[in-house]
Amino acid sequence: MPISRGQKLTKISVSELNNIVQERNHVLLQVITSKRNPDYVPKQSKIHLRCLKCNYEWETKVYVYLERLGPSLGCRQCYKNMIQDPSIYPNSPCRKNQINKNKSGRRVGREVLRVACKNGQFGHIQNVKQLMDYLKNNPNAYNTKVLSLIIRNEGLKKHKIKLKDLYPGEISMHHVIPLHANGSPDLWNIIPVTKEEHHELHQLRYAVYGEKADLQATFATQSDIIKARTGCSQKIKQIPKQNTSGIRNIPLEVANALKQGMICIHKDGYAITIQPNTLQTTQDVKNTLVNLLPEDHKDRQRILQNKTSVNYIRSLIITTFPLPTTGTLKKQVQSAYGFTLQPLLS
């Protein structure tokens, strides 16, 4: 039966279905044909099949059977047998689970750290005694402080006293030589300290070595102190970033104009001189023009109400201070909100 354009194929002929079943090495045991036309089978109807390869019998819908184009060709038992074979189904869930089982445990990370420590600057240190000798022979603010804490912990250990019993709930574990500096993950490189001492140690180490990881650790340890005291976690702000909005991508014409200075003249007689190297961005120029005009001035209100006024002022600066290497704007701006510009050094 021909299918008109836009119409979905909702049935298949019995002969065509039999050909597909034979090609897949299956046997069609039972099928429900259409009541109006017995020569066709609705795709929503169920069929009963048997696989000649594994003698498995199952029921499924016609459209589901036709969509099964994988190696098993719709037979569920063949699929269960084949899914274990990585050459047939390389990305099967069973294959992935098997790969995960063969992976090494998390402790492989410690082995990597040990190798990095052995090949690094502190590879000659392998126990607490060698660590203490290194700290004694290389005195600085951090080494002196951490050495005193190691000696304290060794004294407590001799008297069978644990630091966590003296300061319950306020103990942190500190790597004497940090992992980011190729320190060892073994216990001889780890000492128990209070949270305040932990924070102080990272501050001292950052002051001595200037490593960014220690600075980040100071924020984390300070958060631990606040959490221990108040019971709620408070995130400490990380390294403050300098506000560089408008500076990073400032046009060369604007940078050159601000470097040499300019005179801003309004049509109503207001004027201001911008001295060289006093402003950094076009936004600063906009704020200067806004502050120059009275509060009830219509041009002041226009500048404040227009969200893209800074772009218009930037175009005025580029038009007034062109550079031969960058070319000119397609649309020249001779004035902006009643303002015209003049070079200061002209």
Q: How far apart are CA 199 and CA 195, in angstroms?
A: 6
Q: Please tell me the predicted confidence (pLDDT) of residue 9.
A: 61
Q: Could you tell me if residue 77 is inside a domain?
A: yes
pLDDT tops 80 at residue 239: no
Q: Are residues 144 and 91 in the same domain?
A: no
CB–CB of 324/342 below 8 Å?
A: no
**Residues for the chain: how many in total?**
346
Query: Please, are residues 258 and 321 in contact by the beta-carbon 8 Å criterion?
Result: no
Comparing 243 with 93, the larger pLDDT belongs to: 93
Same domain, 20 and 96: yes
- pLDDT average, residue stretch 107-126: 82
Lookup result for tokens 């300070």: 222
258 three-state secondary structure: helix
Domain boundary residue among 82, 101, 120? 101
Q: Are residues 212 and 262 in the same domain?
A: no
Worst-scoring range by mean pLDDT, 86-90, 155-159, 340-344?
86-90
Domain count, the chain: 3
pLDDT of residue 132: 92
Domain end marker among 57, 79, 101 = 101
pLDDT tens-place string over residues 275-327 = 888 888 888 899 999 999 998 999 999 999 988 888 889 888 888 888 876 66
| Contacts within 8 Å (CB) and 24+ apart, 198-202 | 198/172, 198/174, 198/224, 199/224, 199/225, 200/145, 201/142, 201/145, 201/146, 201/149, 201/174
What pLDDT is recorded for position 80?
Answer: 85
Q: Residue 308 falls within a domain, yes or no?
A: yes
pLDDT at 3: 40
Note the pLDDT of residue 120: 86
Q: Using pLDDT thresholds of 50, 70 and 90, give the confidence band for residue 151.
A: very high
Output the 3-class SS for 134-173.
HHHHCCCHHHHHHHHHHHHHHHHHHCCCCHHHHCCCCEEE
Residues 317 and 274 in one domain: yes
**Same domain, residue pair 192 and 162:** yes
Mean pLDDT in the chain?
83
Structural domain includes residue 94 = yes
Distance CA(133)–CA(176), nearest Å, equals 13
Res. 168: pLDDT tops 80: yes
> Can you give the pLDDT at residue 106?
46
Residues 17 and 76 in one domain: yes
Residue 245 inside a domain? The answer is no
45 falls within a domain? yes
pLDDT for the residue 174: 94
Residue 237 in domain: no
Give CA 288 to chain center in angstroms.
39
CA angle 176, 194, 197 (to 5 degrees): 60
Dist. CA 157–CA 344, nearest whole Å: 75
Q: What is the mean pLDDT of residues 174-186?
A: 91
d(C-alpha 115, C-alpha 230), whole Å: 40
Looking at residue 257, its pLDDT comes to 87
Indicate the range of 17-26, 57-66, 108-117 predicted with least confidence: 108-117
In a domain, 59, yes or no: yes
Q: Would 55 be classed as within a structural domain?
A: yes
- Boundaries of domain holding 299: 252-343
User: Looking at the structure, do residues 152 and 199 belong to the same domain, yes or no?
Assistant: yes
CA distance linking residue 71 with residue 80, whole number of Å: 11
Dihedral over alpha carbons 17, 22, 28, 33 (to 10 degrees): 10
Question: Within this chain, do residues 287 and 318 fall inside the same structural domain, yes or no?
Answer: yes
Q: pTM surpassing 0.85?
A: no
- The percent of residues in the chain predicted with pLDDT above 70, rounded, is 84
Domain boundary among 101, 120, 145: 101
Q: What is the pLDDT, as a whole number, of residue 192?
A: 93
CB count within 10 Å of CB 282 equals: 24
Mean pLDDT along residues 323-337? 75
Q: State whether 218 and 141 are in the same domain.
A: yes
Mean pLDDT of 114-133: 89
Q: Is 11 helix (H, G, I), strand (E, B) or coil?
A: strand
